[in-house]
Structure 1
């Protein structure tokens, strides 16, 4: 189902040229979009005249441009040459020196076997061609020796990059010429010895692929994937085969279908969601990448729905100008749990939508999750996610993205001067990132390890931030909606809730407020700094002492602010009245979460009261001055 959906998506992409360039969005059969860094310009007599830089310099760092070239060989092991393009090790016979001791003096070494493979392949293939460019390449390979790399126009910047050829005076690359395309078509045609069978994806009797092309993406190698690419379908051990079949024969997929689904998936993985979301069908979070695509009667409608889906998962920053202006009303209504047709009337909730979650595992890709559903179903799940996060007062200006949520699980690290470092996503537990994404788009319960991670971070760094508390509230509230627990979580301060952990959180906030009112805010170490971790896990061991200390602070406060002392004492009495018997000896992880929510609600109520008091005082001063 996954592979056939990808193959169908490839066909739609092939039939739908790019609106800006007018070119095909995906390469035709037998070709692949690869990163090309340099172009070797040959004279008609086979001399290397120039090396042209083919980098994209529009960003901070030059990047190779994508070029549609003859599909690469799958190099799981051994030496195999590509046709009319390849790395410098094959094209020129030089590769980077990996010996650190000598690399500075000799940055490259000769890769003779690789060059011989490239040379023999092309001399055999170009034996009787009648094309000026291909003839020039043939002469070049006959005369070239890797030692020539020391001479201009070659440079060390070229080492280990991908190269293509061009004939001097021509605008197209050699592999783009008619003669080269015809020659390549014959080379990729199924051999007579190829086994025909019924393709699992198309149902037709076609030549079956022995090996499937690789799935490539920068994130793959970052999280344990093989540098040469990964596979969804592969068989490399006898235990994976059956009835004496070899390689792809164990899961018969035709040559065309394997090309189609791998090309479509590589296309999706390459289209990462960028800052302004103008393009993007891939969101990488931790070790998982989520690709998605819509199927609609109109390509523009499908693109619009993909854009909305991307914005739902990763809301644009408030600094993103026009994009934020367009999407902000939508996000506000989503966060309020409003139905889709209320804020996006042009989008059909019944549009078919696909979501695929992938995780690299050395040479293979693991399927983390797969949804073949409707846009309305996904939008509803994301709406529920934002609704579960709601807490008063809201600790954000716009609904938080998945990245912003995950960063809350990262420990605070300090610089040499003692300041807090900016958190990095690489420190987010990889498995946690993928499981959170799955929970959001499927509507399942949030991962339990997320709650434990948040509680641990609060206890270790003392940052009881609103967004952390909102995540804790969302985890517990979703479990309540699904009937896994019996008691709901309030969105704002609720004086009627008798849950012991929630009450204890409120009580701790009241004790903190009494200390602050009596001693001021400029303390080296507050009651929260010293006792929050203990109070939220083993209340019995610490609350009696905290209450005793609060009485001393209230005695001091009565001398300076008697009215305020009376109000705070009433708060203590109201909270304690709802706590039956003695303080519990231990709180579970869920109860520690409720403790944090109660603490946040009570603390915010004091903050709001202070703001109102300050506002009244300001109005009184203005009246007096007038």
Structure 2
């Protein structure tokens, strides 16, 4: 199913002449120069094909006959590096044999050619000696670069001519005749089997030379005496198609929005649509939903993404965003992870755009907290980072500390609408207890896990649902204790001001959220000392604080719980976040009122205490 979907996408992109993809038997390679030949085979010029749009010139990618070269000497057809083409190299120790192989291949295949350009190349190779590289039009910086050929006065390259393509297909057929004939698992046609598939490049942390999805090199992986790819017969054309389009989707390009990284997985996605504009609209929408904060520093782009998220969150028709968005368009999502010289499939999903958007909408709703901890909804990778330890000031997580398995399961839950991984809540709670970073993203993850579990278990008990914003009527012990902890911390900050070296959150958050009965009596006694100072300096504020503390305690059972389970510890974090943010919001309002009116009252100060 995966290879079939990739092969079909390749055919769609080739049919509309997508830049960066090559037809069967060809591949985009880095080409630096074109040798211009006269009809007699003399080099009249060497044209630079380097891309100079960046900071420094780089080779340009051109579709040329595909070359599968390992450690053996194998010449490219109508192109190659200087060692093969010209017999000149600064690194190769077998340059004479490489150049000879290039000449033998082209003498054998082009002797009977009728195309003037191909005949000119034969003449060039007959007359060429490596010593001529020292003269014009060649220069030293051309050593070890890749070359193609052109005939003087003709616009295209030699490998693009009709006869060159015909000869190239003959070369491929010669190779196929040596293989096993079997029904292709992708197309169903009886075709020569590709024993080794082209490698896939661009997967994060995989081998830079490329890795394989389909590969057999151990006897234990083979059966019935078959060798290599014959164990899973896929034709050479199908193998070329799926690997070519996968390399295209994984390409390193700042404008490539069909690829993102989540943990150790490189994720690619595409739309099944013949209309390129419709496909791009669907792919851009999915990219915005999966990674909405990827361009959060660009004001115009941020506003656009916010509008997209607003339309999606309200469940309005996608056509409001773009008339080309068809909710019935089939979408494909593939997650690949490195595994030595091979690739593992982390997840694979094919569904309609409408269903995917609905699941992503539900994911955003599950995360929703007020006040919102973010300007734009967090990407999956940003959520995964919240599960890693936070270090430094301000707290910051490292990508290497994210569990690959947890990140993969999180992505799968988002795409399928299933339960978030059970380890997610435990991981986030333990991180908050250990590093004391009770961030909005972490609180949102706790809320998302708890509410999705409740919804999927069909539990409709009102008090069990985690509120979006501060709920002063909640009677859940974990939520209430989180609120109480935030109020006690606020009293400490208010009493001691800048003299606080470490707040109660820094010292007691972990134990308070796990074993309240051991910690809260101590905290309440200490708070009386803070309240004494507040009563002297801000009596109105003291009354407000005592009222909130008493209201929360009255809703608790007779004694503080000896232990809170993992779910209640998650609610503790949410209650703490809600109460702390309410305090900050009221403080901001109080400051605004104070700045607008010199007659500051105790009421304004009271707002900042809660």
| Contact 1:85/1:164, CA 8 A, preserved across alignment | yes
Residue 76 of structure 2 aligns with which residue?
A: 82
Matches for 1:205-354 after TM superposition, within 5 Å: 205-217=190-202, 220=203, 222-223=204-205, 225-270=206-251, 274=255, 279-296=256-273, 298-315=275-292, 317-336=295-314, 340=318, 347-354=325-332
| Contact 1:293/1:354, CA 8 A, preserved across alignment | yes
SS of 2:453's partner is helix
1:73 and 2:68 matched: yes
Residue 565 of structure 1 aligns with which residue?
A: 542
Deviation at 1:391, TM superposition (A): 0.2
Residue 524 of structure 1 aligns with which residue?
A: 501
How many pairs were matched up? 594
1:475 and 2:449 matched: yes
**TM-score, length of structure 1 as denominator length:** 0.83
| Contact 1:167/1:173, CA 8 A, preserved across alignment | yes
Residue 21 of structure 1 aligns with which residue?
A: none
Distance 1:568 1:109, change over 3 A: same
The whole-number CA distance in structure 2 between the counterparts of 1:333 and 1:521 is 44
Distance 1:61 1:501, change over 3 A: farther
The whole-number CA distance in structure 2 between the counterparts of 1:436 and 1:53 is 48
SS of 2:336's partner is strand
The whole-number CA distance in structure 2 between the counterparts of 1:428 and 1:90 is 46
The whole-number CA distance in structure 1 between the counterparts of 2:86 and 2:479 is 70
| Contact 1:336/1:387, CA 8 A, preserved across alignment | no
Deviation at 1:445, TM superposition (A): 2.3
| Contact 1:38/1:158, CA 8 A, preserved across alignment | no
Matches for 1:149-168 after TM superposition, within 5 Å: 153-155=138-140, 159=144, 162-167=146-151
Distance 1:504 1:92, change over 3 A: farther
| Contact 1:94/1:108, CA 8 A, preserved across alignment | no
The whole-number CA distance in structure 2 between the counterparts of 1:478 and 1:158 is 61
Deviation at 1:506, TM superposition (A): 1.3
The whole-number CA distance in structure 2 between the counterparts of 1:421 and 1:46 is 66
The whole-number CA distance in structure 2 between the counterparts of 1:284 and 1:480 is 30
The whole-number CA distance in structure 2 between the counterparts of 1:533 and 1:146 is 74
| Contact 2:443/2:573, CA 8 A, preserved across alignment | yes
Deviation at 1:394, TM superposition (A): 0.8
Deviation at 1:151, TM superposition (A): 8.6
Deviation at 1:549, TM superposition (A): 0.7
SS of 1:212's partner is coil
Deviation at 1:607, TM superposition (A): 1.8
Distance 1:280 1:89, change over 3 A: farther
Partner residue of 1:491 out of 441, 461, 468: 468
SS of 1:189's partner is helix
Residue 434 of structure 1 aligns with which residue?
A: 408
Residue 100 of structure 1 aligns with which residue?
A: none
SS of 1:398's partner is coil
SS of 1:520's partner is helix
Deviations 1:455-485 (A, max 9, x none): 3443454332222322232222222222298
Deviation at 1:72, TM superposition (A): 2.3
Partner residue of 1:180 out of 138, 161, 164: 164
Matches for 1:104-119 after TM superposition, within 5 Å: 108=91, 110-112=93-95, 117-119=101-103
Residue 463 of structure 1 aligns with which residue?
A: 437
The whole-number CA distance in structure 1 between the counterparts of 2:571 and 2:249 is 41
The whole-number CA distance in structure 2 between the counterparts of 1:326 and 1:593 is 33
| Contact 1:335/1:399, CA 8 A, preserved across alignment | no
The whole-number CA distance in structure 1 between the counterparts of 2:251 and 2:587 is 51
| Contact 2:302/2:376, CA 8 A, preserved across alignment | no
| Contact 1:338/1:383, CA 8 A, preserved across alignment | no
Partner residue of 1:543 out of 505, 517, 520: 520
Deviation at 1:436, TM superposition (A): 2.7
Residue 184 of structure 2 aligns with which residue?
A: 199
Gaps of 5+ in 1: 19-23, 96-106
SS of 2:250's partner is helix
The whole-number CA distance in structure 1 between the counterparts of 2:363 and 2:230 is 43
Deviations 1:282-309 (A, max 9, x none): 2233321222222235332222112211
Residue 360 of structure 1 aligns with which residue?
A: 338
| Contact 1:510/1:568, CA 8 A, preserved across alignment | yes
Deviations 1:209-264 (A, max 9, x none): 333222222xx3x41x2333222222212222222222332222223222222222
Partner residue of 2:490 out of 492, 502, 513: 513
